[in-house]
Amino acid sequence: MPVEIQSPALAYAPVAPLLLVFAAALISVLVEAFVPASSRRVVQIWVCAVGLVLALAAVILLAGTEELTFSGAIAVDGPALFLQGTLAVLGLAAILLLSERSLDSSGGAVVARAAVLPGSREDAVLAEATEVQTEIYPLALFSLGGMMLFTACNNLLLMFVALEVLSLPLYLMAGLARRRRLLSQEAAVKYFLLGAFASAFFMYGVALLYGYAGSVDLGDIFAATGTAGTNDALLFVGLAMLAVGLLFKVGAVPFQAWTPDVYQGSPTPVTALMAACTKIAAFGALLRVLYVGFGRTEWDWRPMMWGIAILTMVVGAVLAVTQTDVKRMLAYSSVAHTGFILVGVIALSPQGLSGTLFYLLAYGFTTLASFAVVTLVRDSSGEATHLSQWAGLGRKSPLVAGTFAFFLAALAGIPLTSGFMAKFAVFAAGVDGGATALVIVGVVASAVTAFFYARVVVLMFFSEPPLDGPTVAVPSGFTAGTIALGLAVSVLLGVLPQPVLDLADNAAQFIY
């Protein structure tokens, strides 16, 4: 018997930011095919810039929209638009970092030809060549498109597809470093295998929730949690599996093992993209799942999330103290920050939601810019990331060391920086939500993180520089502009946070 198929209602205008980024990504693929190699890089940068700026403009035009579209699979609402706008700006900044080429003697952070064997004679020649693997631009755009979609998914199947669209390009990008290629390839393998493992858990969770509710729409799952007589085992096991997938992406303990290795091995601009944008997108999805789909079962998942938040804050802060590599230290600090953000997520209130949104924006800009500073300190073999090499940097280049010290202060949450306002927002929401114990752990963990940030500052300003120490490279406008942007946002959000806090307050309303 033929089945009558009704075509779903599709409204394209509310998803314009996504369409623009994906269109730019497709054009970027065509550029790879048809534009001569000599001018490809410039064209690609323009395609990325135009696509992301238009996406940001579309987000601004859509501000205030609250609409479910694509048969309820995509929710265009305040949190989605807020995070999409943030992702567009941060994504563009990360792509500009990727395009920097005046730091190295040759073509920047991205490998010339990924297929050439590391350590071979051809590789040594290519390392100094100006040639560059421009496929990284379409990969970055697809990944950003996936991230922007991830924050707006109201349907778990679409969320799985978005998860893969954002992850698969990142796995490849992690392996494309120009220097220390073996480390980079190893980071890609680790990220890929663990990422695939986590997404299998995610999808098994989706399958169990489908069995529970008969649908994978978050709204239907929410409705099903209110009815008696359904099989709660499916609900709880399903939610736990789903949470494994999402907590892996945000880098929460005990699913954080990949973070330091991948952050250290990847090309630093790609690390910046992962640290800032992936975290924002994954928290966007986690917020939507917990607030929209499981708002009624909070008493069942809250103890688990409490434990994870505490573990994440403590383990991230303590392990960061023992690190000797700048990138690894920033990676563990990002784990600790995941814990702080989880305090806002667990509050499950409009205040917690707006605090989390504000935190994600503030943290994104600060962390992106601090990785940008890491790209500047170099020796003959590339970036000098060992902490001992950073000793006395304040005497060689007070400007760079001072900027980095400011970013560390912002990450530590010193007053008059964005980090202070962000931490205040989520911790206040935590106390109001009755999670005082959690906030106390958070404050103690903040103190521990402040200790190791201070240690780096002392190292930079109060110790003798090593004789054969690294030099500070002079960047072009791409990196300098990104650092300036990060600095401006970190200062402004610390001194005059009210407009952005209001923006986050107004955005803090999910629809379903």
Partner 1 sequence: MNESYYLLLAALLFTIGGLGVLLRRNAILVFMSVELMLNSVNLTLVTFSRTTGTLDGQVMAFFVMVVAAAEVVVGLAILMSIFRSRRSASVDDASLLKF
Q: Does 192 bind partner 1 (CB under 8 A)?
A: yes
Token readout for 511 is 């629809």
| 221 in Cβ contact with 212 (< 8 Å) | yes
Provide the minimum distance between the beta carbon of 138 and partner 1 in the complex, in angstroms, as a whole number.
14
Q: Which CB, 113 or 296, lies closer to partner 1?
A: 113
Provide the minimum distance between the beta carbon of 488 and partner 1 in the complex, in angstroms, as a whole number.
34
Q: Which among 128-136, 258-266, 448-456, 498-506 is the span making contact with partner 1, rule CB under 8 A?
A: 258-266
Helix (H) or strand (E) holding 30, with range, is helix 16-34
Provide the minimum distance between the beta carbon of 288 and partner 1 in the complex, in angstroms, as a whole number.
19
Tell me the C-alpha to C-alpha distance, in Å, between residue 350 and each of 62, 88, 166, 235, 508: 21, 24, 28, 25, 6
Judged by CB under 8 A, which of 42, 61, 196, 437 binds partner 1?
Answer: 196
Q: What beta strand segments (E) does 4-80 contain?
A: 67-69, 74-76
Helix (H) or strand (E) holding 378, with range, is strand 377-379
* CA–CA dist 235, 239 (Å, integer): 6
Q: Which among 73-81, 187-195, 426-434, 495-503 is the span making contact with partner 1, rule CB under 8 A?
A: 187-195
Q: Which among 65-73, 211-219, 389-397, 443-451 is the span making contact with partner 1, rule CB under 8 A?
A: 211-219
Q: Which among 11-19, 50-58, 180-188, 408-416 is the span making contact with partner 1, rule CB under 8 A?
A: 180-188
DSSP state string for 69-124: ETTTTEEE-HHHHHHHHHHHHHHHHHHHHHH--SSSSSS-SB-S-TTSPTTSHHHH
Judged by CB under 8 A, which of 160, 294, 371, 452 binds partner 1?
Answer: 160
Judged by CB under 8 A, which of 101, 181, 288, 337 binds partner 1?
Answer: 181
Give the Cα-Cα-Cα angle 61, 91, 373 (nearest 5 degrees). 135
Judged by CB under 8 A, which of 161, 387, 414, 443 binds partner 1?
Answer: 161
Provide the minimum distance between the beta carbon of 202 and partner 1 in the complex, in angstroms, as a whole number.
9
Scanning residues 259 to 318, which ones bind partner 1 (CB under 8 A)? Answer: 260-261, 264-265
Give the residue ranges of DSSP H helices in 266-387. Answer: 268-273, 279-288, 298-321, 326-347, 350-374
CA distance from start to end of the chain: 34
| 150: nearest Cα among 170, 175, 173, 176 | 170
480: which residues sit within 8 A by CB, 6+ positions away? none
Scanning residues 350 to 379, which ones bind partner 1 (CB under 8 A)? Answer: none
Judged by CB under 8 A, which of 187, 235, 348, 422 binds partner 1?
Answer: 187
Provide the minimum distance between the beta carbon of 442 and partner 1 in the complex, in angstroms, as a whole number.
25
Q: What beta strand segments (E) does 6-47 contain?
A: none
476 to 505: interface string for partner 1, x by CB under 8 A: ------------------------------
Q: Does 215 bind partner 1 (CB under 8 A)?
A: yes
* CA–CA dist 394, 461 (Å, integer): 5
Q: Which CB, 134 or 199, lies closer to partner 1?
A: 199
Provide the minimum distance between the beta carbon of 262 and partner 1 in the complex, in angstroms, as a whole number.
8
* CA–CA dist 511, 509 (Å, integer): 7
Provide the minimum distance between the beta carbon of 77 and partner 1 in the complex, in angstroms, as a whole number.
24
| 313 in Cβ contact with 340 (< 8 Å) | yes
| 201: nearest Cα among 242, 151, 261 | 242
Provide the minimum distance between the beta carbon of 212 and partner 1 in the complex, in angstroms, as a whole number.
9
Phi, psi of 415 (to 5 degrees): -55, 155
Provide the minimum distance between the beta carbon of 203 and partner 1 in the complex, in angstroms, as a whole number.
5
Q: Does 183 bind partner 1 (CB under 8 A)?
A: yes
Judged by CB under 8 A, which of 200, 440, 474, 488 binds partner 1?
Answer: 200
Provide the minimum distance between the beta carbon of 189 and partner 1 in the complex, in angstroms, as a whole number.
5
Q: Does 32 bind partner 1 (CB under 8 A)?
A: no
Q: Which among 189-197, 339-347, 419-427, 484-492 is the span making contact with partner 1, rule CB under 8 A?
A: 189-197
Q: Does 219 bind partner 1 (CB under 8 A)?
A: no
* CA–CA dist 204, 194 (Å, integer): 16
Kindly give the pairing relationship between strand 377-379 and strand 382-383.
Answer: antiparallel
Which positions touch partner 1 (CB under 8 A)?
114-115, 117-119, 157, 160-161, 164, 168, 171-172, 175, 181-183, 185-190, 192-193, 196-197, 199-201, 203-204, 206-208, 210-211, 214-216, 260-261, 264-265, 322
